[in-house]
Chain A
Amino acid sequence: MKTFLRILGALVIVGVVALLVFIFWPVSRSAPTQVAANAPEPAEHGEYAMRLADCAACHTAEGGEPFAGGRPIESPVGTIYSANITPDPETGIGGWTLAEFRGALIDGLDEEGHHLYPAMPYTNYRGLTETDIAGLYHYFIEDLEPVRNEVPANDLPFPFDQRWGLRAWKWVAMPDVGFASGATSDDPIERGAYLVEGPGHCGACHSPRNTLFVQDGYTASDAGFLTGGVIAGWTAPALRGEDSAIAGWTAEEVAQILGTGRNAHAAINGEMALVVEDSTQYLTADDLMAVSQYLVGLDGNGANRGQEQGTPSGGLAERLLDDPATQTERILASADPGMPEGARLYLDNCGACHFVDGKGADEVFPELDGSSIVQAGEPTGLISMILHGGALPSTEARPYALRMPGFADRLSDDEVATLASFLRTAWNNEASGTVEAGAVADMRSEEGG
C-alpha cells in the first residue's frame, strides 16, 4: 500500500512537473532564413508586401481606423478580436523588434512570447520570405502612424482562453519554416505558388480544417489544400479538384476576377470581396498572372474542362437565337403557367438579370449555371444572397460597386427555399439536398453582405 502510494505520488509529481514544463518552458522563435540577393529595399517594398499578405481585411474593424484592429473573428470556439497592428506603443505593436515581429508572423508568438490564436494565419505565413517580412515590418513600424485603440478582450470559454494550450496545437499544425522553392523565381508557376501558399494565405479559407482546426495541407502537393472550406457558415469554394469553382476558367479570367471583382462567369461577394478590395486588386500584372497560372494549373482546372461543360456563347442576342440548351432553359423560356413553382419564382424574380439560360451577362450579372455559391455544400450563402442581395467590391479598375437587391420583402421563407432548391439543380447544377424554409427563417434577420 505504502509502495503504491509512493508510486502514485511520484506519478502525480512527474505529471505536474511535465505540465509546468509544458506551460512555462520558454518558447523559441524560428531563426531567419536566407535573404534573397536581389531583394528590394524594405522601404520600397513594405506597402506591397502588406497588400500581398492582406493584413487589412482582418486588422481593420468595420468603420475603424486602418490596421487598428478590433474586428471580431468568429471561430468555432468563440469570438477573437484582431489586434491593433499600428505602431502605438501601448495598444499596438510599437517598439516590437524585427525578431519579435517575425515571431508573430511565422511562429505565432507575441512580443512577450505568448501564443497567438491561429485566427492569425501564421501557419500560412511560415513560408514568407525574409524580404516580405522585412517589408511588412518596415511598413507597420515606420510607415504607419500609431493609432491608439484598445481592442476588446477575446470572448472565449475555458479552456480555450488558456493560450499555453496552443503549444500542443502548434506541434500538430505547424508546417516547416521558409518557402521551399523560389519565391522570387521568374517562373510564374513558382512565384504563384509562393503568393498563394504564403502571403496570400488563400488556403486559410479555401482549405478544409479538421476537428482541431488544423488546415488540411499547406502546399499544392497536399491533396486537401484548396479543396474548399467553410467560414462562418459561408462556403469558401474549392479551387481545385472535382468541385473547383474555377474549373474551365482561363488564367486571364482568374486574373480578371482577382483584379476587378468580376469576370464572364462570376462576381465576387461575401468575405472574398474584402480580399479583392484590400489585396488582390493591388497585385502587379505579373503577380496576378502568376497566381492565376498557378491556380489554373492545379488538378481539375484548366480551359479543357470548360469546353466539356459548354462555355457560354457570346452576346445576348446570339444566345437567344440558340436552341434552348437544357431542359431548365426550355421550361423557363416557355413561360408556361404550369411550370414548377421554383422555375416560376426564378422567372418572376431573377430572370431579368440572370436570364433563362442562367448565364447572366459578362462582368455584370454572374452565371448561376455552374456557380459555386449556388451549389455550395452549405446553402447559407445562396439564401443570404437571395434574401439580402450583395455588392461587388469596388476596385480601381472597376469602381462601381454593382449591387444585387435583396428579395426578403418580396419572397416568403417557403418561396426562398423553393427558389434556392430549384437553382441548386437547374441547368448543369448538381447540388444535393433541398433547402428548407426553416433555414431561410433563421437567416432572415441577419444583415446582408
Chain B
Amino acid sequence: MSHPTYLNTTRRGFLGGTAAASALALGDRAQAQDAPPLEEYTPEYLSAAEWAFVMAATARIIPSDGAGPGAIETRVPVFIDLQLAGDFGNAADLYMEGPFKPDAPDTLGPQSPLTPAEIYRGAIERIDAACTDEYGNVFADLDPTQQDEVLSALEEGPSTSGNTPDMAEDAGGGAPNTDGSTAFGLTPELKEFFSLLVQNTKEGYFADPMYGGNADMAAWSYIGFPGARGSYAEWVGREEDYPLGPVSISGERA
C-alpha cells in the first residue's frame, strides 16, 4: 500500500539508465486482447470527472513525449480504475478496524480510515474544487504547466506522506507534520493521495498486462525487460541487447 518509501525513486530517472532500445514488434497474440480504445473505456469505479482527472494526472506523471511510451499509451488509467474497483481499492488486505489517527506522523504508517478508493474519490473532488478556485477550471482542463504546478504542490505539501527531507529527523518521535492542513484542502485522511497516485501509476506502467496497464508490454519493451519468461541465464553478464521481446504471464509476446 501507500508507503512513503515507495516514493524514493524519482519517476523517470531510473528509466533512462536502463533503457534498452527494444523494438516494439507486436506478435500476433499481443493484439488478441481486443481492448476498446481508451476514449471508449467505461470505468468500473471512477466517475467521469474522476476518470478525467486520472487520465490527466497520469499523463503528467509519465508523459507521452519522452523517449518511451507514456501512461496513456500503456493504459495506466485502466489499471488504476480496475485496482480501485477491486480488492486494492476496497482495502481488502488492510487492517481497517482502527484506532485511526490520521494526523499521526508518517512514520506510523497509513492511518486513514478511508479505503484507497475512497481516498481517490475524496481527494480528486477537493483538488478539482481548489483548481476551480485558483485557475477557474478543474484539473483535467488545466494546461500542462498548471497541472505540473498542482502536482508539485501536492508532492511537496507538508503532509503528503513522503520523502520530505525532514522525515528522517522525525523518525525519533518528533511530531511536526500533524497540523492537519495540507495543500488543496486535503484533510489528513486524504494525505496519502499523491503517493498512492504515483505508486499506482508506476504499477500500472510496469505490471503484467493482465491487470489492464502496460498495454502490449510497451513499458517492458522500452526498458528491455523480458517479462515472465524468466529464461535468459545465458545472457547474464553479456554486453549486448537481449534479442527477444517480452512475454506476459498469459503467454502473449511483444
Query: Which residues of A are at the interface with B, using a C-beta cutoff of 8 A?
Result: 316, 320, 333-337, 347-352, 355-356, 407, 409-411, 415
**Could you tell me the distance between the alpha carbons of A360 and B235 in the complex, rounded to whole angstroms?**
17
- CB of B95, distance to nearest CB on chain A (Å): 31
Chain B residues near A316 (CB-CB < 8 A): 233
Interchain CB contact under 8 A, B231 and A348: yes
Given A335-B242, A335-B244, A347-B244, check contact A320 B233 (CB 8 Å).
Answer: yes
How far apart are the CA atoms of A348 and B244 in the complex, in Å? 10
List chain B residues, Cβ under 8 A from A351.
Answer: 229-231
A348 B251 Cβ-Cβ under 8 A: yes
Q: Is the CB of A336 within 8 A of B234?
A: no
Does residue B250 face the partner (Cβ distance < 8 Å to A)? yes
- A158 → chain B closest CB, angstroms: 49
Complex Cα–Cα for A299 and B5 (A): 64
Q: Is B174 an interface residue (CB 8 A)?
A: no
Within 8 A of A (CB), among B188-241: 229-235
Closest 8 CB pairs of A and B: A351-B231, A352-B230, A410-B251, A352-B231, A333-B234, A348-B247, A335-B244, A335-B243
Q: Which residue of B lies closest to A409 (CB)?
A: B250
What's the count of A-B pairs with C-beta under 8 Å? 44
Chain B proximity of A417: nearest CB distance (Å):
15
A349 touches B234 (CB 8 A): no
Question: Could you say which of B234, B249, B251 contacts A411, with CB atoms under 8 Å apart?
Answer: B251
- Given the interface pairs A320-B234, A333-B234, A335-B232, the reply to whether A349 lies near B243 with Cβ below 8 Å is no
* Distance in angstroms between the alpha carbons of A409 and B228 in the assembled complex: 14
CA distance A356 to B229 in the complex (A): 13
B253 at the interface (CB under 8 A from A): yes
Contact A348 B243 (CB under 8 A): no
* Cross-chain contact A337 with B243 (CB below 8 angstroms): yes
Bound form: Cα–Cα A355–B250 in Å? 20
B231: chain A residues at CB < 8 Å are 347-348, 350-352, 355-356
Looking at the assembled complex, report how far the CB atom of A70 sits from the nearest CB atom of chain B, in whole angstroms.
40
Separation in Å of the B247 CB from the closest CB of chain A?
5
A415 to chain B: closest residue by CB: B251
The 8 Å CB contact of A349, one of B25, B233, B235, B251, is B251
Task: Report A-chain residues with C-beta under 8 Å of the C-beta of B243.
Answer: 334-337
Contact residues in A for B25 (Cβ distance below 8 Å): 337
**A347–B233 contact, CB under 8 A?**
no
The chain B residue sitting closest to A347, CB to CB, is B231
Point out the residues of chain B lying under 8 angstroms from A356, CB to CB.
Answer: 231, 233-234
Chain A positions within 8 Å of B247 at CB level? 348
